[in-house]
Amino acid sequence: MDFSGKTILITGGTGSFGKACTRHLLDTADPHAIRVFSRDELKQTEMEADYRDDRLRFLIGDVRDRERLERATRGVDLIIHAAALKHVPVCEYNPFEAVQTNVIGTENVVAAAIRNDVPQTMFLSTDKAVNPVNLYGATKLAAEKIVSQANAYAGDADVRFATVRYGNVVGSRGSVIPLFLRQAETGVLTITDDRMTRFWITLEQAVQFVLSRIDLADGGEVFVPKIPSMRVMDIADAIAPEAEHRITGIRPGEKLHEVMLTEDESRHSRDLEDCYAIDPEFRFRQIRKPLTGTAVADGFRYSSDANTEWLTADDLRAVLPTLQPVA
């Protein structure tokens, strides 16, 4: 998509992804305006002072408020829906709040986009949505279904909805890397299970992947990037090779390994070389764009423990000095 002259709305725009995406668009494209939609006036004020760009519009609002979203999306060419409650323990302790923001909030974004004929909406999901074992993952799975089905709700309107599903962002708050960095000072690292693996992606890679999938979306797809895995023990070795390891056991709602594409999804998925596209199981309308890629083998499963690409301890050591804490 050529972002020049476009008006873009980013929900959760003061979060880590929203800020990185805004910076990328301002630096590499010439959008008419970027509407930063979020609840926190302090973060908006700080972001405005930091970016100092007259193409930015700061809108206080909550995705739970459909009326506010309908006003915010008027005249918009693209919505990037990044707003969410995403910390697993917070969602477990506050389940109804998680549903209100992650599920009802996504429905409100969809409704506003249809009401205002927004041509493209891209939703950010997570590997936790696949075979979810915690409420956060369950809300993201529900949101994925809402976004996909939005293409049917839109009828013959010229609007499209799609999803990007990716893994852990390297260095994100609440993840194991900042935890290990803090614990390294004590000489003891707490490890839930030494067999654990995870998918990893940098924040900039996530931004570039999301923006690059917009032109590929015909409606209803879930795009899954091909990204490396890493073993938790290699992460520990990269950060504090001399530290003692204390095994604490897997926490509630946690998995040994993550999956980003299941055997059942493989039946309607395509390999696009740098990613997989999970197509909706039924098409809502005539295909607008020619489908590309090759069919994924029946029974294929894309999981962090069976990945073909791995980050080593040395790979992580090389990027650690460049990491900035992200929310």
Active site positions, annotated? 128
Query: In the structure encoding, which two tokens stand for residue 174, read together?
Result: 């609440």
Residue 141: which H helix or E strand, with range? Answer: helix 135-153
The neighbour count for residue 74, using CB atoms within 10 Å, is: 13
Query: In the structure encoding, which two tokens stand for residue 142, read together?
Result: 């529900």
* Cα distance between residue 182 and residue 207, in whole Å: 27
Beta strands per DSSP E along 132-228: 160-166, 168-169, 188-191, 197-201, 222-225
* Cα distance between residue 50 and residue 144, in whole Å: 33
* Cα distance between residue 246 and residue 194, in whole Å: 10
Residue linked to tokens 């908006």: 44
Q: What is the rounded end-to-end Cα distance, in angstroms, of the chain?
A: 27
* Cα distance between residue 115 and residue 109, in whole Å: 10
* Cα distance between residue 124 and residue 321, in whole Å: 27
Handedness of CA 147, 153, 155, 159 (dihedral sign): negative
